[in-house]
Amino acid sequence: MLDRGAEPAAITWVISRDAWWSNRRALQSAGTLRSGSLEMLCRQSEVMATASSVAAYCEGMEQCGAWLRVDAQIRPTMYHAATVTKAELQRLGHLGCIVRSGKLLQIEPGRMTLQGGCIDSPAGALYIDCSASALSRNCLDRTPVFSPGRIDLQFIRFPGLCLSVALTGIIEAFVESDAEKQRMTQVAPMIDTVEDWIDRFVVNAENQQAWMGHEAVRSWLGVCRLDAVAAMMRAVPADDVVACRWRDRLRELAPDVAANMRRLRSMSTG
């Protein structure tokens, strides 16, 4: 709407829950941006390896620039791994009115009813529903990928849906043991909170370890372009000293990251 010329002062944004957003800067892997992205990933890994609590993890991710939020005074309660640039989020923060009164329950001429009360709206206002849940109802779905005579497509690497689906096909084609297929396809469903994300990170790591233990799956992953981080690390030129340093640091941090994220998961699940 802003790009189409709408005035910020004329827009009211109803936010039912504030969210953490992933900084798109960490995902830009081409050419001159590669070193910066690898550095950002290293900063994130340092936070993951050392955070003493979930709250400290969130603070660290924000401080290193990996996570963003609309208002620095409001602690987000949601994380869907949505990506945004800092400039885009700053524009949203300058809208004319941001309403935080829970979910929208009803719209009537001149009025919106929310969980926290009613607010007036201009006559002839245009209401745009941006609340579609997409995959969020998948959060609790742990249906196994492989069951007798059936394959249920699920995230086995969150949030890499395309990688998950392609890899499921590779596992079906090259892995004979049903037990091994199950071990390689722990389900990592859609997330709603930071605690969910920490759980999925651990599941991702456990699946990755299982994949790397199978020669055919490992070989396929070695040339797959759907794993953005792995592809970026493979593409680092030998003469790019800075990028090589960040890549090596990422690998060095990996064991501590895995151990501490498991610890944070155990803390959040009791």
For the stretch 208-220, pLDDT in tens is 999 999 999 999 9
Number of domains in the chain: 1
Mean pLDDT of 188-192: 94
Please write the tens of the pLDDT for every residue from 70-85. Answer: 999 999 999 999 999 9
Q: What is the reported pLDDT for 173?
A: 97
Q: What is the reported pLDDT for 270?
A: 62
Domain hosting 165: range is: 136-237
Q: What is the reported pLDDT for 28?
A: 66
Please write the tens of the pLDDT for every residue from 16-49. Answer: 999 999 998 877 655 566 788 899 999 999 999 9
Q: Mean pLDDT in the chain?
A: 91
Is 196 within the bounds of a domain? yes
Is 90 within the bounds of a domain? no
By CB atoms closer than 10 A (0-12, 13-18, 19+), residue 247 is buried
Is 88 within the bounds of a domain? no
Q: What is the reported pLDDT for 24?
A: 87
Please write the tens of the pLDDT for every residue from 76-126. Answer: 999 999 999 999 988 888 888 899 999 999 999 999 999 999 999 988 899
Q: What is the reported pLDDT for 154?
A: 95
Percent of the chain surpassing pLDDT 90 = 74
Is 245 within the bounds of a domain? no
C-alpha 108/C-alpha 44 separation (Å) is 45
Is 223 within the bounds of a domain? yes
Res. 134 pLDDT band, cuts 50 70 90? low
Q: What is the reported pLDDT for 180?
A: 95
Tokens of 55: 């709250």
pLDDT top residue among 188 and 6: 188
Closest among 78, 58, 22 to 193, alpha carbons compared? 78
Is 155 within the bounds of a domain? yes
Is 151 within the bounds of a domain? yes
C-alpha 222/C-alpha 209 separation (Å) is 14
Residue 30, C-beta contacts closer than 8 angstroms, at least 6 positions apart: none
Is 248 within the bounds of a domain? no
Closest among 93, 69, 72 to 21, alpha carbons compared? 69
pLDDT at 235 over 90: no
Mean pLDDT of 254-267: 96
